[in-house]
Chains A and B, each alone.
Chain A
Amino acid sequence: MAGTSIMDSLFQRTLEDLIKGLRLQLVGESAFVSKALEEIRREIKSTDPHTKSTALQKLTYLNSLHGVDMSWAAFHAVEVTSSARFHHKKIGYLAGLAVVPLRHRRNPPHHQPAPQGPHRRQRVRAIATILKIFSKYPDAVRVCFKRLVENLESSDLQTASAAVGVFCELTAKDPKSYLPLAPEFYRILVDSRNNWVLIKVLKIFAKLAPLEPRLAKRIVEPICEHMRRTGAKSLIFECIWTIVTSLSEYESAMKLAAANIREFLVDDDPNLKYLGLQALLVVAPKHLWVVLENKEVVIKSLSDVDYNIKLEALRLVMAMVSEDNVAEICRVLVNYALKSDPEFCNEILGSILSTCCSNVYEIISDFDWYVSLLGEISRIPHCQKGEEIESQLIDIGMRVKDGRPELIRVGRDLLIDPALLGNPFLHRILSAAAWVSGEYVKFSKNPFELVEALLQPRTSLLPPSIRAVYIQSVLKVLTFCVHSYLLPIEAVASSSSCSVDLEPGVTDSVSGTECPESTDSPTCEALADSEQGEGFNPRALNQSIEDLSTENGADTIVTHGQISSSYSFKKDCFTPGSIASLFDLIETSLGPLSGSHEVEIQERVRNVLGLIGLIQGEIRGCLVPKEGNIEKKELKASEVITMMHDAFSEDLGPVPLSAQEKVPIPDGIVLKENLSDLEEVCGDIQFPTSSLFSLGRPHSGERDGVAPFKSQNKEESEPSTESTSLLAEHRKRHGLYYLPSEKKDIISNDYPPANDHKLQDNVNDDAEDLVKLTEQSFLTKKKPNQARPRPVVVKLDEGDEVPIAAKRPESRDDLISGAVRDVLLGNEVMPSSSRSNPSDKSSSKRRGKEKINIDQPSELKEDLANVVKSELGNPNSRRSKHRTRGKERKHRSPGKNGEEREENGQDKQKSSHRHARVTWNHHLGKAAENLNYKAPCNILFWTLRVASVGRAFNALELAYIYNISRKMKQIDESSYLQAWVCISRTSNAF
């Protein structure tokens, strides 16, 4: 053993040998390192401390520069630190730093925890270490906090500097606790001439000043004085920073700071310029004038060579944007973007997009302009902001009714350009454009052109998911075209009703029913009539539709004679020939895709083709028009198309994340506590995988998408009507459940409705529609006095943004500040210890003068004082005293969290009582809520599958599901259709 040890130490390679070897090696670095590592593993086991420490040193080197893992050597590192030799110790600690997270680390070499060592260097090091000790062992605060405070006043510059540094770190984490030390810091601020110390003190004051206005008042002048006096840029910058972050309400100081910022901005040194811009950015929200004063420099900086400076300048430009200049600034920026390199170009576009959409498009008043800007941005060559543009296009579509015609126009231009399909960055935008053109096809000038664009050969370049959106849009456009062809008057009336006022009579009858489908559906008018007449009979409703709608149709022909003239082009273009060629086009382009391996595509293609197959026989049969409308209306196809069209033409609004919470749980639903038996019910169904779509009877499943509309099969079409009537019945009986509570309505009063202008008219109406009701909870009443003719933007009363959970301070920090408060309080109430130290006495006096309160209530102080007094004579009671304090503290300051938690706890208890009968609704709601609203289709579909397989839903639940599915329609219509199928299928059960 001894022999090998000697041999080892004789022939051991030192670190220097290792480094040289590494540079000269011919075997390749990794091979050399692993060979060296082998040696080290052998050597480090040696009993000779020298061999061991050298091995460790080599290992540390390899670890830090070559990324070799050395966690296995942790114990060796600790062993080496225990060596008696200084040199070995040093190696050990360096290694320890790399291996062991501080939790396990002992105090480094020549430092004791209490900074009282005689040697200056030792003391400084101890102070520097103390921060880490505090953070790991909050109890250490009690031991050495006072000494640390004393060091603030040390005559030795380095010691004081180190102490200030420690306080700077501590204050940053929890400023409140250190307010009582303000007098000490103030003295340093006034007396010290050392820039390092001053900078740190300024940082402390930047944190303290906002907490205590009187303190802010006192420090303003000294800070300005420093700014005028000093030549050191770092100190000037720190002064600027302190003023702009914490003292911005002091006019004179701000002016001085602004002047200094300006100097920084015009300086040749890019560092100063960069920092100046950063300071400006902080100033911008409160004192925009400073930014405007330097506008030129900022704009010029947009074309700086330095990317950082460009970026800061861009942020500043965005900070200057207001409603009046947004168009102008965007124009300038887009021009910059065209000239910039791709990275900065996207940076510019990103900030345009995020600024414009902030706070629900607050600064946009002209949406036609903005939508066309989006279109323009999409075409910028380097644009990679597809995702943002996609979501904004859809969002504007849903929120801004007046923006839709322009949206359609922009969407059309994008879709129709075959060149764009080749650019993968644009695919998301195209997806949005396709969705928009499907959803708002009624504003389109030429729907046939849209279908051609959506089916052009180059769409094969799109990824399947987006192609699926395209195909779904084809379905919508197709429905629209056929509907317009079969029932031309209603179609015209519907499109005109959005922009043109209806004739009084019609308006009355429509608004009288308060029906959301009033815009376009005969069902609705039928509903109205049947109600006014023989009372509401949902079962009879569907049978009566045809006659009634025929009558109404005849009426509207008369009433809308003049209005529809402007749409005559549209009306004319739906000729038998054009419809036939539309069918042909769709069939030839989509036919080959019905065997696609992509489920989404295949399914949707089959939906479209199925619909065509369903209706085209009849339509082609009557392609030679005989008697006009009346005959067409009698076709089964008309019924199907009407239903489809109604389903698609209802407007979608944005959905807040908290939407489901607003829906109260209806009475009479008794459901299980949890869904534990769900797994039995759904058996082998796998959760959110996409294979869900092929479950059960795979092929019939696909056809199911169209099934409820299959007219040739009476048994199948029956349930669909039945479900509609059930729904209507449900609406009548239980509609009110889906009303938002009154309070919420009041809150949301500020925002005008997006979809329906007649909402207010008839609140008492019995036949309130389910869908309407849910809509009402998201949409809102019209603002009485709107100053500007800004288009209506639907806002949600809450929850437009994801709520950001307030970040709770780390418990460690709590502990430290708790301990610090203890000590500081102790300073005040324990005269015996603090009187022995004159400096401390004076400081506590000053403290009294400044009357800076910590958030400890005064009774607590007294309590403590009492405790301390009563127990002073008894050394054994020390511990109990601590405990009392701890308890008190828990109840007081940091206790806020605790109290909240307690309350929550109580709430939970209560609510668990309330929700003893947890319902399906609840679960569905939760599931939908937890997902953002593009994703949940799978979940919804899965739930519906479970529902239709496992058991029959009752009407309420169905309505509820329908309700959710309606809101989820946003992107994915096929699951919406699936929902219909499931609802109709399960409603057979009762």
Chain B
Amino acid sequence: MIRAVMVMNTLGKPRLTKFYDFQHVEQQQELIRRVYAVLCSRPENVSNFVEAESIFGPDTRLVYKHYATLYFVFVFDSSENELAMLDLIQVFVETLDKCFKNICELDIVFNYSKLHTILDEIIFGGQVLETSSTEVVKAVEEISKLESAANAIIPKSVSGWLSRST
């Protein structure tokens, strides 16, 4: 299964983290720090795999991709194929690109919940659900329709909220 998904920028600031095993907050922060320490020391144009057993315990692998100012990191175990995970990062990034039209770090910063919606369509409970970005985009659109439909009939609590859902 997939153990964790992390997106962080090249300065080590986490932008999205999701741990599919329960981890305490301090532990999560520590893991993120250690992963960043490894990633930032790696030069360009080297392999995308990192030995992660010292960080995440036995039977774990880590694959990452570096896009512009962001690292996309997947941590997984021997039930997943390394190259397939690399492809999955690609699928994730492609989907983001489609949903946000030329994704940049700021999109990720400001669309926290949408990001989670997208990720949940691809990986659920550590299992890969969908590997086609078009399918994911479709599903995400459906969900946001559903959400705005639900929001439209909110009787009270008007301000801020409406502006947000549009």
A residues with CB within 8 A of B: 6, 9-17, 19-20, 23, 48, 50-51, 54, 57, 61, 63-65, 67-71, 85-87, 90-91, 94, 97, 100-102, 108, 121, 124-125, 127-129, 131-132, 158, 161-162, 165-166, 168-169, 172, 195-196, 199-200, 203, 233-234, 237-238, 270-271, 273-275, 305-309, 311
Contacts and interface: CB of A to CB of B under 8 A. Distances in A.
A67 B26 contact: yes
Contacts of B79: 165, 168-169, 172, 200, 203
Contact of A199 (B84, B86, B125, B159): B84
Provide the main secondary structure of the chain B interface. Answer: mixed
A271 B64 CA distance: 11
A67 B15 CA distance: 12
A689 to B, nearest CB: 33
Contacts, number: 157
B124 A237 contact: no
Contacts of A87: 147, 150-151
B43 interface: yes
Contacts of B127: 127-128, 131, 162, 165-166
B47 A237 contact: no
Given A108-B125, A199-B84, A238-B81, 9 more contacts: A10-B157, A14-B164, A51-B157, A65-B15, A102-B22, A162-B127, A169-B79, A199-B81, A306-B46
Given A23-B109, A308-B49, A63 B125 contact: no
A778 to B, nearest CB: 35
Given A15-B113, A23-B109, A87-B150, A121 B87 contact: no
Given A129-B125, A158-B129, A237 B82 contact: yes
A18 to B, nearest CB: 9
B125 A308 contact: no
A72 to B, nearest CB: 12
Contacts of B129: 124-125, 128, 158, 162
Given A15-B112, A87-B147, A271 B49 contact: yes
Contact of B47 (A54, A69, A270): A270
What 4 pairs across the A-B complex have the smallest Cβ distances? A234-B83, A306-B46, A270-B47, A128-B127
Contacts of A85: 150
Contacts of A57: 113
Contact of A196 (B16, B51, B84, B156): B84
Given A121-B139, A131-B1, A274-B49, A94 B157 contact: no
A635 to B, nearest CB: 61
Given A172-B78, A233-B83, A10 B159 contact: yes
B80 to A, nearest CB: 8
A65 B160 contact: no
A51 B158 CA distance: 11
Contacts of B116: 94
Contacts of A63: 25
Nearest to B41: A307
Nearest to B33: A67
B81 A237 contact: yes
Interface residues of B, number: 56
Given A15-B112, A308-B46, A308-B50, A65 B14 contact: yes
Nearest to A274: B47
Contact of B157 (A16, A50, A108, A311): A50
Contacts of A125: 124, 129
Contacts of A200: 79
Contact of B45 (A97, A270, A311): A270
A757 B25 CA distance: 64
12 contacts: A13-B160, A15-B113, A65-B16, A67-B28, A94-B113, A102-B22, A108-B125, A132-B125, A162-B129, A196-B84, A234-B81, A271-B48
A581 B34 CA distance: 58
Given A70-B25, A128-B125, A273 B47 contact: yes
B68 interface: no
A125 B47 CA distance: 33
B11 interface: no
